[in-house]
């Protein structure tokens, strides 16, 4: 994108290596961005950090309990990630079984680094159906 901007604005074609070198000289580096939901409420986050969580932590300490932070995820075998090259108008076809498997995972970690997790595997069989596709 930077090379294209330079070409468009200054009518000069530069290589990607040159763009990287210039950006490095300007103090920049390639980085993975952090993603934040635009719906995030900064006031609610501050409330959680300053009041809600300290109250939960104090109650856990009083009870001799440990606070865990949990998240879940699922991975399916029929997920279609990626693309491939093909002649225009001739979409490539990948043959699969139609059956799918899924692994659901849940994990929780405490502020002390304690970890708990569980995985569940499911198998689905495809419903009988008739689908025709014209080429």
pLDDT tens-digit series, residues 32-75:
888 888 899 999 999 999 999 999 999 999 999 999 999 998 88
* pLDDT value of position 90: 84
> Which tops the pLDDT comparison, 86 or 135?
86
Number of Cα atoms under 13 Å in the Cβ half of residue 70 = 10
| Distances 69 to 106, 112, 124 between C-alpha atoms, Å | 11, 11, 30
What's the CA gap between 7 and 1, in Å, rounded?
A: 10
pTM exceeds 0.75 for this model: no
């Amino acid at each position: 994108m930077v090379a294209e901007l330079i070409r468009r604005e200054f009518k000069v074609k530069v290589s990607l290596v040159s763009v990287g070198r210039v950006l490095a000289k300007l103090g920049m580096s390639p980085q993975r961005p952090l993603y934040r939901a635009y719906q995030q409420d900064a006031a609610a986050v501050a409330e959680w950090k300053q009041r809600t969580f300290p109250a939960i932590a104090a109650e856990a300490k009083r009870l001799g309990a440990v606070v865990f932070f949990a998240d879940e995820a699922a991975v399916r075998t029929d997920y279609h990630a990626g693309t491939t090259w093909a002649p225009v108008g001739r979409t490539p076809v990948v043959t699969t079984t139609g059956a799918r498997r899924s692994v659901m995972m849940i994990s929780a970690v405490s502020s002390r680094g304690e970890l708990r997790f569980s995985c569940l595997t499911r198998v689905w069989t495809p419903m009988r159906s008739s689908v025709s596709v014209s080429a």
